[in-house]
């Protein structure tokens, strides 16, 4: 499952783009839908049924909502069916093990997860290979359920017209470039393009450039940073030096950024090749001057989703400070849970919610008065501290790692830390420069000086980048996309 979809891209992407380009207007959504199903089934042959089930429920909820347009009670029932179904799918496949383990831990009971009994029964009927010990998480379920749910919510609020074509709606849900790891695309953002989109050579060329940029982020930067973090993460936290711990968690800080922003760039590029314009999902978050700004730049589409469908309906900041802080804590607890079913993720979300509350209470004005390097250093530090909770396997391990960071082992720096730092120094420097936007500024400078020459030079650079990434992938064994598990 881990990298199957990426193999799909390499094997079939050129054929898909060519087929979509030469297909007529009526056939393009068929290409998108079937490609999306094949792309998803390439790594999840059984759970593609769950995605189709979600698609059907939300489509028919929308059609009935439109049919009973003058009956608000029936429209609300349609909305509740859609929301309960989507949240129910997440509860069953993502949170059931977590909830049952928590109850068993509190009560000392031995409750079994009923989903595992279903898995066992299905395995007897056919060789689905479902896990009978833990519920497997269908890849991308957090993305496509949120995406599909936004359609019915916006339709209920009368922000968008109903989509009467099942094929068009199914194409929206199964858009293969971003179905498994975002960005989260709302229906209104692609509604016009679903019905009529232009695919040009210029768009394809631009999309290839964006795709290669994301691929390079993932393969050349994220993967190599991931190797450093994997070695540190596998160490004994009670014995490692503080320097080695810091090296590891900073490596993960860059790994998760280049991994996720890289996939987002690839998805945006793939969408552009097919005539879609997906929203930007990252905007150099590590140069932010506050935590609030960081979350306006990191995973932008998720933050926008929670703001539109949770924070504002709860009252936002319109009902006084106490309720504003309550709303923030609810949103950030849910944000943590969205990322994963464990107390580490819940505390990770609440940690950032608390920091944002402190900034709103007055610390934000203090940050505004600080020199930019200091405020950026503060924000980067808070992000690094958060990633410890995010990627350690338990609260106990997180506590041990925090202790190691601040010298609890009694070893400040050792030979392993020196070797890791010196042998990867250039990689860290490149990651710092790219995450700060140096690459975009260089491209902009070249275009301002001589746009035609910059465009011409871009062609061999794209080809060289693609060949380099392909060569690296051929030889590398470490290739996970971190956000596929959410």
Dist. CA 366–CA 364, nearest whole Å: 5
Active site residue 299: no
User: Up-side HSE of residue 378: CA atoms within 13 Å toward CB?
Assistant: 18
Residues 243, 150: contact at Cβ < 8 Å? no
Dist. CA 315–CA 8, nearest whole Å: 44
183: cis peptide before it, omega within 30°? yes
Dist. CA 123–CA 117, nearest whole Å: 10
Q: Which of 20, 284, 299, 339 is catalytic?
A: 339
Catalytically annotated residues: 339
């Amino acid at each position: 499952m881990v990298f199957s979809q990426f193999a799909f891209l390499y094997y079939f992407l050129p054929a898909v783009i060519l087929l979509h380009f030469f297909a007529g207007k009526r056939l393009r959504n068929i290409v998108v839908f079937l490609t999306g199903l094949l792309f998803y089934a390439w790594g999840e042959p059984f759970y593609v049924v769950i995605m189709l089930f979600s698609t059907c429920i939300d489509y028919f909820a929308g059609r009935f909502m439109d049919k009973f347009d003058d009956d608000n009670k029936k429209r609300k029932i349609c909305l509740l069916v859609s929301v309960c179904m989507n949240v129910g799918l997440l509860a069953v496949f993502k949170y059931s093990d977590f909830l049952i383990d928590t109850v068993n831990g509190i009560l000392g009971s031995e409750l079994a997860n009923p989903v595992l009994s279903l898995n066992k029964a299905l395995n007897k009927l056919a060789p689905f290979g479902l896990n009978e010990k833990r519920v497997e998480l269908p890849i991308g379920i957090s993305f496509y359920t949120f995406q599909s749910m936004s359609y019915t919510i916006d339709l209920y609020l009368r922000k968008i017209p109903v989509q009467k074509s099942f094929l068009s709606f199914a194409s929206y849900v199964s858009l293969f470039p971003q179905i498994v790891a975002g960005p989260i695309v709302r229906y209104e953002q692609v509604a016009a393009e679903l019905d009529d989109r232009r695919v040009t050579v210029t768009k394809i060329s631009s999309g290839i450039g964006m795709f290669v940029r994301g691929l390079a982020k993932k393969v050349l930067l994220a993967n190599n940073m991931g190797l450093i973090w994997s070695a540190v993460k596998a160490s004994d936290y009670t014995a490692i030096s503080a320097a080695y711990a810091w090296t590891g968690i900073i490596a993960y800080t860059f790994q998760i950024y280049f991994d996720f922003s890289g996939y987002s760039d690839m998805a945006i590029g793939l969408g552009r090749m097919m005539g879609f314009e997906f929203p930007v999902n990252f905007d150099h978050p590590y140069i932010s001057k506050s935590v609030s700004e960081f979350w306006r730049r990191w995973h932008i589409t998720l933050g926008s989703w929670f703001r539109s469908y949770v924070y504002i309906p709860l009252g936002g900041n319109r009902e006084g400070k106490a309720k504003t802080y309550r709303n923030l804590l609810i949103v950030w607890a849910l944000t943590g849970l969205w990322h994963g079913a464990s107390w580490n993720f819940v505390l990770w979300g609440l940690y950032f919610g608390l920091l944002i509350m402190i900034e709103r209470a007055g610390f934000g004005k203090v940050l505004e008065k600080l020199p930019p390097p200091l405020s950026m250093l503060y924000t980067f530090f808070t992000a690094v501290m958060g990633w410890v909770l995010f990627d350690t396997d338990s609260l106990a391990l997180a506590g041990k790692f925090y202790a190691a960071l601040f010298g609890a082992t009694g070893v400040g720096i050792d030979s392993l830390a020196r070797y890791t730092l010196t042998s990867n120094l250039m990689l860290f420097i490149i990651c710092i420069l790219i995450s700060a936007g140096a690459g975009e500024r260089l491209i902009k400078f070249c275009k301002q000086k001589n746009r035609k020459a910059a465009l011409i030079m871009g062609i061999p650079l794209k080809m060289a980048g693609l060949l380099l990434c392909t060569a690296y992938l051929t030889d590398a064994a470490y290739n996970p996309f971190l956000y596929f598990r959410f």
